[in-house]
């Protein structure tokens, strides 16, 4: 078997045998369950409100995906360094970018698992509403790009910084900085500065894409610019990850 | 003499008023732009999520053609105690049209489609604006009721909300239990 | 061509120089001891030899390859056991070995992996997670992992650290066997002089980033390990002394000191006992190595 595939397999096994993945999935499903149960108390939402609920649920899933990407990415190299398991890996005839690719694949599998678990929630909340299939499709697309971006950035930081705690705090700060403009009020976001921030922010691009698809029922043509923003971020971060892992040190 | 002066003044005032009045009416009569507008609700019960068509008709009753008419839909919520206008942004893709020309005697029939977003009592009206007329012409308010539809079914949500976390915990717990049973069957710790 | 050649190796970290110009050579089949106080640069040297970190200056060659330029290629032919085992606590010993075998592209069968675990004294059917293993078991597993690609050169950093005497002896015997059977070149970085005495034929003593001594373990005895034997009866010492490979250096009362060449101490003891010497106690002579070490290092703990 290809060494890269062996590494990916190990990442997946560690998720469940070491329990870290299972713990996260339990927490994620509890969050989604809590949100779904809150909604059940108002079964006569208008169609708009129902679309809003699906949008909010999709937003929570994207946020959880970004969070798991940052946590897993931070652990990627710095965590192995802390546990002193990085050096034997560096002794193997596999280069740094190869290791990074395997770890990123592991993070993407975690996202895929979260996404598959989220589909029943979206179906339960949005089946009689609007744009459910489009919501699921764009959630997968935007979520994957967000996970590549945040996971790749956290892995790159993890390769250069020494401790997991240091990388995690930097990664979470990055997530908060990119997430906070989304919390600005509509009038501020509509200002010139707000629109530039929205456009340059991959997290905002993902949420605005979901808003556009689920609530405004807009098609692919409306999403192209935002998708381009997310793809650009992912490409730049992958290049950074490659450069950061070319010379990995224990 | 004074009486004659008074009679003459009165006569001037009356004739002038008559002339002024007859001029406006004339203008009106000379233009001939008389419009009739109506709106008809669809038959049958309506519920959330339906996409019915309201049939609108704008008729030119005058002798002259009219041009550049703007016709638009208005929606109000008639919920008792909470009457308010409703933004048609999410309800209708086509909220207004412009009629280039409406010949005398012609009627413009048009379906006004809507997506019924929320339940409740509503009224809808069609308004026509003729740029040459000071007053728009509004159809009768057409009342209708949208029946609610349950968009969230507890019977669908609760099994997922309770079942998924439980399933993961059971699978994970089962794996931990299975592994711990395997360990207990192993030999004691080796030398070293 | 030597197995390992280092010439004027220099390395700094964040402006702080660690290696000031290290030079040494290790021949094929040597068990080479690398001694020095903490912070002297031993681990840095090992990492440069493995191609994990690049040197700042100097020439380095392992099996004729430049580790900095040919890292992945070189690491197919060498391996190492770092000071920290770097084991995955949640894996079993067998799955750990299989994982690394796969990384090295080894096409081994399940039976092969099991045999390799037995070779280091581990039970391949033990499916407990590694975190439940004793230190000695972890060390054995680490050695098994370090041997997974049948390396030509093996680097060991404190291989017997924290082991009890029996565990240390078992590791020694394992390494001696590998060296003898496969002509494996072994470079050991260690603080434990007894390990050096038992295992190594040549050493380098590193201090403050420079090699202060490089040569036989016992320069006075021609580089051969020395042992003191306590006899039950001093009258049982044969004369003339005629044991090939075991030179009588000194005798004092019922104690004799011998230099051993070309055989392991265990074999030498066996030979003497078979010849009738009533040996009741045997001990490696380390005082000269300790003196050698202390003479060539300044300050710093062992």
Could you report the per-residue pLDDT of B112-127, keeping only the tens digit for each?
998 888 889 999 999 9
d(CA A218, CA A175): 27
pLDDT at A175: 87
Window from C79-83, C113-117, C287-291, C298-302 with minimum mean pLDDT: C298-302
Burial of B48 (0-12, 13-18, 19+ CB in 10 A): buried
Q: What is the pLDDT of residue C299?
A: 58
In order of A129, B78, C275, the CA distances from B86 in angstroms are: 20, 10, 112
The answer to whether residues B126 and B39 touch, using CB atoms and an 8 Å cutoff, is yes
Residue B158 contacts A where some CB pair is shorter than 8 Å: yes
Q: Is the pLDDT of residue B24 over 50?
A: no
Task: State the pLDDT at residue A45.
Answer: 60
Among A138-147, B62-71, B83-92, where is mean pLDDT lowest? B83-92
Q: For residue range C8-55, what is the model confidence (pLDDT) as tens digits? A: 999 998 889 999 999 999 999 999 999 988 888 899 999 999 999 999
- By Cβ distance, the residue of A26, A49, A50 closest to B168 is A26
Residue C61 has pLDDT above 90, yes or no: yes
pLDDT band at C86; cut points 50, 70, 90: confident
Looking at the complex, report in whole angstroms how far the Cα of residue B180 sits from the nearest Cα belonging to chain C. 9
Contacts of B190 in chain C (CB under 8 A): 121-123, 126, 134, 137
Contacts of A128 in chain B (CB under 8 A): 49, 149-153
Read out DSSP for A138-171? HHHHHHHHHHHHHHHHHHHHHHHSS-HHHHHHHH
Amino acid B192: pLDDT: 35
Q: Residue A220 pLDDT > 80, yes or no?
A: yes
Give residue B38's Cα distance to chain centre: 15
- The region of weakest confidence among A104-113, B148-157, C149-158 is B148-157
- Rounded to an integer, what distance in angstroms lies between the CA atom of residue A76 and that of residue A15? 12
**Which residues face C125 on adjacent strands?**
none
The model's pLDDT over C239-263, given as tens digits with 9 standing for 90+, comes to 788 888 888 887 877 888 888 887 8
pLDDT at B22 over 50: no
Size of interface A-B (CB pairs under 8 A): 96
Q: Quick count: other Cβ atoms within 10 Å of Cβ B82? A: 9
For residue A238, give how far its alpha carbon lies from the nearest alpha carbon of chain B (Å). 32
State how far residue C285 is from chain A, nearest Cα, in angstroms: 35
What integer pLDDT is reported at residue B186 of this predicted model?
A: 47
Specify the pLDDT at position B111. 93
**B150 touching A (Cβ < 8 Å):** yes
Is C173 in contact with C142 (CB distance < 8 Å)? no
**What pLDDT does B188 receive?**
40
Number of Cβ within 10 Å of residue B154's Cβ equals: 15
- Of A186-195, B20-29, C203-212, which gets the smallest average pLDDT? B20-29
Provide the chain A residues 153-212 that lie in CB contact (below 8 A) with chain B: none
- CB distance A18–C90 less than 8 Å? yes
In the predicted structure, residue C85 carries a pLDDT above the cut 90: no
Residues A47, B168: C-beta atoms closer than 8 Å: no
Of A30, A36, A48, the CB nearest to B160: A36
Q: How many CA atoms are closer than 13 Å to the CA of B38, on its beta-carbon side?
A: 8
Has residue B109 got a pLDDT over 90? yes
**B165 touches A at CB < 8 Å:** yes
Q: Which residue of A has its CA nearest to C102?
A: A3
Say yes or no for a CB contact (<8 Å) between A26 and B118.
Answer: no
Q: How confident is the model at residue C277 (pLDDT cuts 50, 70, 90)?
A: confident
Helices (H), A41-95: 47-74, 80-82, 86-91
Q: Contact, C102 vs C109, CB < 8 A? A: no
What number is the average pLDDT over the span A133-151?
94
Segment A120-126 shows an average pLDDT of: 88
Q: Output the pLDDT for position B151.
A: 62
**What sign does the CA torsion over A30, A33, A35, A38 have?**
negative
Closest C-alpha among A90, A81, A111 to residue A7:
A90
B182 contacts chain A (CB < 8 A): no
The phi and psi torsions of B183 (rounded to 5 degrees) equal -65, -40
Task: Give the confidence band of B6 by pLDDT, cuts at 50, 70, 90.
Answer: confident
Residue C222's pLDDT is: 61
User: How far is the C-alpha of C125 from the C-alpha of C95, rounded, in Å?
Assistant: 11
Q: Confidence band (pLDDT; 50, 70, 90) for B185?
A: low
The string of pLDDT tens digits covering residues B143-160 is: 999 998 766 666 788 889
Percent helix / strand / coil, chain B, rounded to 5: 30, 30, 35
Distance CA C140, CA A89 (A): 18
> For the segment A77-107, what is each residue's pLDDT rounded down to a tens digit?
999 999 889 999 999 988 899 999 999 999 9
Amino acid B139: pLDDT:
94
Does the beta-carbon distance from C134 to B186 stay under 8 Å? no
When pLDDT is averaged across residues C286-290 and rounded to a whole number, the result is: 70
Which of C94, C127, C129 has the most B C-beta neighbours within 10 Å, making it the best mutation to test the interface with B? C127
Pairing of β C78-81 and β C153-157? parallel
Q: Is there a cis peptide before residue C240, judged by omega within 30 degrees of 0?
A: yes
CA distance A171 to chain C (A): 25
| Residue C223 pLDDT class (50, 70, 90 cuts) | low
Asked whether residue A39 carries a pLDDT value surpassing 80, the answer given is no
Displacement of CA B192 from its chain's centroid (Å): 83
Interface ipTM above 0.90:
no
* pLDDT at residue A227 greater than cutoff 50: yes
Q: Are strands C31-35 and C185-189 parallel, antiparallel or unpaired?
A: parallel
Q: CA A243, A164, B179, C137 torsion: positive or negative?
A: positive
- Residue B1 pLDDT more than 70? no
For residue A16, which residues of chain B lie inside 8 Å, CB to CB? Answer: 172, 175
- Greater model confidence, C268 or C291: C268
Percent of chain A with pLDDT over 90: 48
Picking from A16, A29, A47, the nearest residue to B165 by CB comes out as A29
Amino acid C111: pLDDT: 93
Optimal mutation site among A13, A77, A88, interface C, most CBs of chain C within 10 A: A88
Tokens of A164: 């997991």
Q: What is the percent of chain A where pLDDT is above 70? A: 91
Distance CA C150, CA C76 (A): 9
- Among the partner-chain residues B151, B160, B162, the one whose CB lies closest to the CB of A45 is B151
Q: How far is CA C203 from CA B17, C32, C187, C266, C292, in A?
A: 129, 5, 9, 22, 11
Instruction: State the Cα–Cα distance between residues A95 and A127, nearest whole angstrom.
Output: 47
Q: Give residue-wise pLDDT tens across range A186-213.
A: 566 667 777 777 777 888 889 989 988 8
């Amino acid at each position: 078997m290809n060494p890269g595939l062996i590494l990916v397999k190990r990442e997946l096994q560690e998720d469940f045998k070491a329990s870290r993945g299972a713990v996260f999935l339990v927490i994620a499903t509890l969050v989604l369950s809590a949100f779904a149960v809150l909604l059940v108390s108002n079964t006569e939402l208008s169609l708009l409100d129902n679309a809003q609920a699906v949008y909010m649920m999709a937003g929570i899933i994207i946020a959880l995906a970004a969070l798991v990407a940052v946590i897993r990415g931070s652990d990627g190299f710095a965590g192995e360094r802390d546990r002193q398991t990085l050096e034997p890996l560096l002794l193997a005839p596999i280069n740094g970018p190869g290791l990074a690719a395997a770890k990123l694949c592991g993070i993407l599998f975690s996202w895929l698992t979260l996404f598959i678990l989220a589909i029943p929630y979206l179906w339960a909340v949005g089946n009689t509403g609007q744009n459910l299939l489009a919501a699921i499709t764009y959630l997968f697309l935007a979520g994957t790009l967000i996970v590549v971006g945040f996971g790749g950035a956290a892995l790159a930081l993890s390769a250069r910084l020494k401790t997991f705690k240091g990388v995690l705090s930097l990664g979470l700060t990055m997530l908060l900085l990119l997430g906070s403009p989304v919390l600005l009020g509509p009038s501020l976001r509509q200002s010139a500065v707000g629109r530039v921030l929205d456009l340059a922010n991959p997290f905002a691009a993902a949420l605005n894409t979901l808003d556009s698809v689920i609530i405004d029922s807009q098609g692919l043509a409306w999403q192209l610019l935002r998708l381009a923003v997310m793809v650009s971020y992912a490409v730049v971060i992958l290049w950074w990850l490659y450069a950061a892992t070319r010379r990995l040190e224990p | 003499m004074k009486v004659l002066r008074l009679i003459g003044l009165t006569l001037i005032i009356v004739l002038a008023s008559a002339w002024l009045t007859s001029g406006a009416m004339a203008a009106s009569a000379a233009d001939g732009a008389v419009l009739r507008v109506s709106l008809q609700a669809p038959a049958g019960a309506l519920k959330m999520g339906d996409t019915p068509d309201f049939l609108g008709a704008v008729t030119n009753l005058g002798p002259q053609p009219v041009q550049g008419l703007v016709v638009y839909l208005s929606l109000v919520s008639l919920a008792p105690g909470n009457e308010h206008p409703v933004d048609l942004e999410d309800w209708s893709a086509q909220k207004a049209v412009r009629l280039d020309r409406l010949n005398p005697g012609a009627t413009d029939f048009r379906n006004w489609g809507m997506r019924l977003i929320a339940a409740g009592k509503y009224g809808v009206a069609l308004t026509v604006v003729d740029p040459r007329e000071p007053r728009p012409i509004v159809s009768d308010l057409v009342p209708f009721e949208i029946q609610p539809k349950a968009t969230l079914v507890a019977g669908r949500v609760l099994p997922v909300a309770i079942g998924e976390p439980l399933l993961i915990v059971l699978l994970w717990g089962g794996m931990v239990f299975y592994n711990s049973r395997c360990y207990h069957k192993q030999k004691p710790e080796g030398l070293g | 061509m030597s197995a390992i050649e280092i010439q004027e190796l220099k390395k700094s970290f964040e402006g702080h120089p660690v290696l000031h110009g290290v030079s040494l050579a290790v021949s094929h089949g040597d068990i080479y001891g690398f001694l020095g106080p903490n912070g002297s640069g031993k681990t840095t040297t090992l990492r440069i030899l493995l191609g994990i970190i690049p040197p700042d200056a100097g020439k380095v060659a392992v099996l004729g390859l430049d580790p900095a330029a040919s890292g992945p290629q070189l690491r197919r032919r060498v391996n190492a056991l770092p000071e920290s085992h770097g084991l995955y606590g949640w894996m079993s010993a067998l799955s750990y070995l299989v994982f690394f075998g796969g990384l090295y592209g080894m096409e081994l069968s399940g039976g092969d992996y099991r045999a390799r675990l037995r070779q280091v004294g581990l039970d391949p059917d033990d499916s407990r997670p590694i975190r439940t293993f004793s230190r000695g078991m972890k060390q054995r597993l680490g050695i098994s992992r370090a041997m997974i690609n049948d390396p030509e050169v093996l680097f060991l950093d404190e291989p017997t650290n924290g082991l009890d005497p029996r565990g240390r002896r078992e590791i020694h015997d394992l390494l001696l066997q590998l060296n003898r059977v496969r002509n494996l070149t072994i470079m050991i970085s260690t603080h434990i002089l007894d390990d050096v005495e038992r295992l190594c034929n040549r050493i380098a003593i590193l201090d403050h980033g420079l090699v202060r001594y490089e040569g036989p373990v016992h320069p006075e005895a021609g580089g051969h390990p020395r042992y003191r034997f306590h006899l039950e009866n001093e009258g049982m010492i044969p004369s003339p002394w005629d044991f090939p490979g075991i030179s009588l250096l000194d005798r004092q009362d019922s104690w004799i000191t011998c230099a051993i060449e070309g055989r392991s101490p265990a074999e030498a003891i066996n030979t003497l006992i078979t010849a009738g010497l009533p040996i009741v106690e045997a001990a490696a002579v380390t005082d000269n190595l300790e003196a050698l070490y202390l003479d060539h290092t300044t300050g710093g703990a062992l």
